[in-house]
Chains A and B, each alone.
Chain A
Amino acid sequence: MVNVGDMLVGYATNEDVRKRGASGGLVTAVLAAALEKGLVENVVVMKHINEFEAVPIITDDVDEVLASTGSLHSVPVNLAKYAMGRKVAMPAKPCDTQAVIEQAKRGMIDLDNTYVVGLNCGGSMHPVTTKKMLVEMYDIDPEDVVGEDIEKGKLIFKTKNGEEKAIAIDELEEAGFGRRESCRYCTLKIPVNADLACGNWGVIGDKAGSATFCQVMNDKGVKLLDNAIEAGRIEVEPASDKAIAIRAKVNDVMVNLGNTLEKEIFPEIPDEERMQYYMEPMADCIDCGACKEVCPVCACGEDSKCTMFHSLVDNYKMSMYHMVRLLHLSDSCIACGQCSDVCPSDIPITLLQSSFAIPSQRKREYTPGMNVDDVPPFFEVILK
């Protein structure tokens, strides 16, 4: 059967799932099989509402799993928190996977009960900005869009009448559209920390668009694929060296893009202006707590140090809530961008968190969410 480290190309045996899938429908088939054969009790999937809207649901119904196929670039949600306390399989972007592992480090998720089917991710977009972009840059009516993809640095939209339009990502991002800011400087494009790492990068020749490249990362990955093969839901074959090389090249291109954009996005702030740089945006905070609520790495309940010892009555020059969170997350923030997305005062929280977390993590050569055995440095106990 399949072994750890295998590089495979495969597709869903069910023709409909294969056709509706972004590229072969393998991920959906694996998730459906996992549920069908009792490997897991539930599956976290995105319930489609329209092309730009889907909501994460937890299901035990195979049909709902099959209905959720197709990649969604403009529904930027982190799925980690939906896997808590359940025996579950889930599709996961690299930042979802990182969050799952960070929650596992904090005892909130049992990795043995969580099957993570990783998806390559070139970056996600905000639904409302995407609709505005379609009108202003692509001259397409959002209602007509049936699919989208990121390939070779271009964002491609497919419309009902079979037409395809592609514009370069950096051109879009210069005009203020394109991917969310945290996705631009993200450098984890292939979820090597998941059980399986699937995507369409490296699917070439006649299979392009109708098969999924899948790298088996660990034993749970083997179980997922063997289970799906036994269920007759998927067919796989080893990927050609050329396919593997192309996948690696695409990944390098995206990672380098991330590194170069990081330099542009993070400003060099002279020391004396630094305090003002942070205080200014944070002064508009209305203390709603959404950034803590949505943070997929935070394991605290409603009461935690950042809320219990913070009160609006103090009216300090900087909020205790933010200072405690800046410190607690400096070793665990995975820059998934959720907090910026939900901040009602449009404070670039992810940018601020990252400007603390990235230097702190780099200095300690520590990347959160990659290996459940890495103790977050803040809790490192050096017993000389």
Chain B
Amino acid sequence: MIGNVYQTVCPGCNMGCGLYIREDEEGALAVDFMKSSPANLGKLCRFGMKLAHHYSKATSMVDGKEASVEDAVKAASDKLKGADVTMLGVGNTTNEESLAFSKVADALGTVVNTGMGVYSELPTECHPTVGVGITLDEIESANRIALFVDPYIQYPLLVRRILAAKKIGASVVSVGWKDLHLADENRYIDPDLYESELGLDSESVIIADVHPNTDPGWVKRMLNLALKTQAKILFMKPFVNATGVDLLCKGTGQKGISEIMDGINEGSIKTLVTLNSDPIELMPDSDAAAATLTKLDNLIVISSRDGPVNKMADIVIATEPLYAKAGSFMNVEGLLLNNSGESTTGIDSMSTLSQNLGGEAMDYQNLHNNVLESIVQKYTKPKYKELTCEVLDIGPVEEKGNLIYLYNPFMWFDQSDDNDFVMVNMNMVNKLGLSKGGMIALTSDAGTVNMRYRVEDMPDGLILTAKKLPVATEWTTIVSTEAV
């Protein structure tokens, strides 16, 4: 065959969209449609279509100079031996690599943090409900769907599922930040009224999402809503293998990524090892995150992708691109999806690292079997669990800013997309006297930025962005606005 064709899964979110990556003779990549893939029938969203620009190859580095992967692993071993290490693996890679990473954690006597701080604030019997969602086909048979995400922008392959449900009579209520075309009702109501106003019952489905910056109180509110209305609930997550990683690292003390960054700032964390997880891309304020990382003594990055954190790392262990890895992923409904690639550089490096640190050696096959036994229980894939815990105390509600991040795959990788605009409603346009085709100036204590704006039907005073902005410090920020 001329060039190569890999069967893989899109790393944009945990929907599990299958696709082919074609590599021509010169190594140029192209996306091709895998129509037999059950989760998405070969269909891809904006991020999936631009994957050819996503897989930028990483290069192994030691102290700023290029090095072989072996040297990088050796250097890392020396640095880590006997150190107090914090490990971050959000699930942007295969189950097998994640398991290998947690074996390295065992050798170091620590745990792998998935960055999802939410889990450590939830009773354990809620974990399975948050971890594994209902099957995607079940969305199509729901009679009422409550949307707490914007499927068009955040998890686009949900759109066709919801439309299919509507075709057989389902009603859709959107409780997001702006009117959605597929929603029959758009309700921006006080969260306390959700239970009484949204008209949900046991035949309904709630679609929300959980990501490293989610406010735990919000997740509890979602769980309470599901508990009280008996509705099923599906938590989408922004990482391809978030579900797999959650199941693999179950029960370990989960530090949220903000918690880790605070730890670095306070000096309690001196050494950080990441696996395909770039805090600069993951945190809402990239500059602040980069500044924090400079405080580390040792920053070791194991990654298949080149990213801002690689440039700051003391040591970079470069693994093969995600599509070429031998391994499997688990999507939101607990479906195991396999790569067709056979490369195991990542696993072999971590195996050497683990041995250097007194841990056990490992190879792909035993990791894979382990995955099948531990999280797939030998071909009976994990099912959605009805909620059994009692109502949770939501705790103090954070005061929200008016500039709100609409997290989407492009943002999680800080990858440019021609979404270079913010969204406002017509009242704001008229109030500020914005000129058509003109710009709006957003100012926060982090500075000012002029952005083009798109008019949407949404609540007054809010500004939405699907692109990371230098003025945003949190996932919602208070900004002042005026015409340019």
Contact = CB atoms under 8 A, between A and B. Distances in A.
Nearest to A310: B418
A289 B42 contact: no
Interface of A: 42, 47, 49, 52-53, 55, 57-61, 64, 75-77, 126-128, 283-284, 286-290, 293-294, 311-315, 341-346
A128 B157 contact: no
A60 B2 contact: yes
Contact of B48 (A55, A288, A343): A288
B483 interface: no
Contact of A127 (B36, B420, B453): B36
Nearest to B4: A57
Contact of B3 (A58, A61, A343, A346): A58
A286 B156 contact: yes
Contact of A126 (B31, B35, B153): B35
25 contacts: A42-B2, A52-B36, A53-B34, A55-B5, A55-B20, A59-B1, A61-B1, A76-B35, A77-B33, A126-B41, A128-B35, A284-B163, A284-B181, A286-B45, A286-B152, A288-B45, A290-B43, A293-B31, A313-B453, A314-B454, A341-B35, A341-B42, A342-B43, A344-B43, A346-B159
Contacts of B153: 286
A53 B36 contact: yes
A283 B46 CA distance: 16
Contact of A57 (B1, B36, B152, B420): B1
Interface in B390-421: 418-421
Contacts of B46: 286-289
Nearest to B158: A344
Nearest to B157: A344
Contact of B159 (A52, A58, A344): A344
Given A75-B36, A287-B46, 14 more contacts: A52-B36, A55-B32, A60-B2, A128-B35, A128-B38, A284-B152, A284-B181, A286-B45, A288-B45, A315-B455, A341-B33, A341-B43, A346-B160, A346-B163
A287 B417 CA distance: 12
B462 interface: no
Contacts of B29: none
Given A127-B35, A342-B42, A293 B2 contact: no
A287 B1 CA distance: 33
Contacts, number: 105
Interface in B33-69: 33-36, 38, 40-46, 48-49
Main SS at interface, chain B: loop
B182 interface: yes
* 4 A-B pairs with the lowest CB-CB distances in the bound complex, closest first: A127-B36, A344-B43, A53-B36, A313-B421
Given A286-B159, A290-B33, A345-B159, A313 B41 contact: no
Given A126-B41, A288-B45, A294 B182 contact: no
Given A312-B419, A315-B455, A341-B33, A128 B160 contact: no
Contacts of A346: 159-160, 163-164
A277 to B, nearest CB: 15
Contact of B454 (A60, A128, A315): A315
A344 B156 contact: yes
Nearest to B453: A313
* Most-contacted residue by chain B among A55, A293, A346 (CB, 10 A): A55
B452 interface: yes
B456 interface: yes
B418 A312 contact: yes
A136 to B, nearest CB: 14
Contacts of A289: 46, 49
Nearest to A346: B160
Given A312-B421, A313-B421, A342-B43, A288 B35 contact: no
B394 to A, nearest CB: 33
Contacts of B2: 42, 57-60
B435 to A, nearest CB: 14
Interface in B1-43: 1-3, 5, 7, 20, 31-36, 38, 40-43
Contacts of A287: 46
Contacts of A55: 5, 7, 20, 32, 34
B49 A293 contact: yes
B454 A344 contact: no
Contacts of A47: 1, 5
Contacts of B456: 315
Contacts of B164: 346
Interface string B129-150: 0000000000000000000000
A287 B47 CA distance: 11
B396 to A, nearest CB: 36
A288 B36 contact: no
Contacts of B1: 47, 57-59, 61, 64
B181 A288 contact: no
Contact of A128 (B3, B36, B44, B163): B36
A47 B32 CA distance: 14
A290 B418 CA distance: 16
A266 B456 CA distance: 33
A293 B41 CA distance: 16
* Most-contacted residue by chain A among B5, B7, B36 (CB, 10 A): B36
Nearest to A60: B2
Contacts of B5: 47, 55, 57
Contacts of B453: 313
Contact of A284 (B41, B44, B182): B182
A344 B40 contact: yes
Contacts of A60: 2
B326 to A, nearest CB: 17
Contacts of B42: 341-342
A49 B34 CA distance: 11
B371 to A, nearest CB: 22
Contacts of B36: 49, 52-53, 75, 127-128
Given A57-B5, A59-B1, A128 B419 contact: no
A128 B35 CA distance: 7
